[in-house]
Structure 1
Amino acid sequence: MAAVEELVILAGIWAAVSAWTVHFSATKPELAISNLVVGIALATLGLCMSMAPERSQDLNFVVLLLGVWLIVSPWVVSRDAGTGAILSNVITGACVCLFALTAGGLLMSKRRTT
Structure 2
Amino acid sequence: MADVSHRGDLADHPDVSEMRDRYARVLGGRDVALVDGPLFLVGLACAVSPWIVHFASSQPALATHNLIMGIAIVVLALGFTVMPQRMYGLSWAMCVMGAWMIIAPWVVGTNPDKGVIWTNAVLGGLTFLLGLACTAAAVRGGRTRPTAAVRAGRTRHT
Aligned to 1:38: 69
Residue 44 of structure 2: which of 9, 13, 31 is its match? 13
List structure 1 segments (4+ residues) > 3 angstroms apart after TM superposition: none
TM-score by length of 1: 0.93
Aligned to 1:79: 110
> Is structure 2 residue 86 aligned with structure 1 residue 55?
yes
**Equivalent residues, number:** 112
> Is structure 2 residue 56 aligned with structure 1 residue 25?
yes
Unaligned runs of 5+ in 2: 1-31, 144-158
Which amino acid in 2 is paired with 1:82? D
Identity of aligned residues (%): 34
Q: Looking at both structures, which has the greater relative contact order when contacts are Cα pairs under 8 Å and sequence separation is at least 6?
A: 1
Unaligned runs of 5+ in 1: none
Q: CA deviation at 1:111?
A: 2.5
Q: Which has the higher helix share?
A: 1
Which amino acid in 1 is paired with 2:72? A
Q: How does 1:85-104 map to 2 (within 5 A)?
A: 85-104=116-135
Q: CA deviation at 1:21?
A: 0.2
TM-score by length of 2: 0.68
Q: CA deviation at 1:25?
A: 0.7
Which amino acid in 1 is paired with 2:76? L
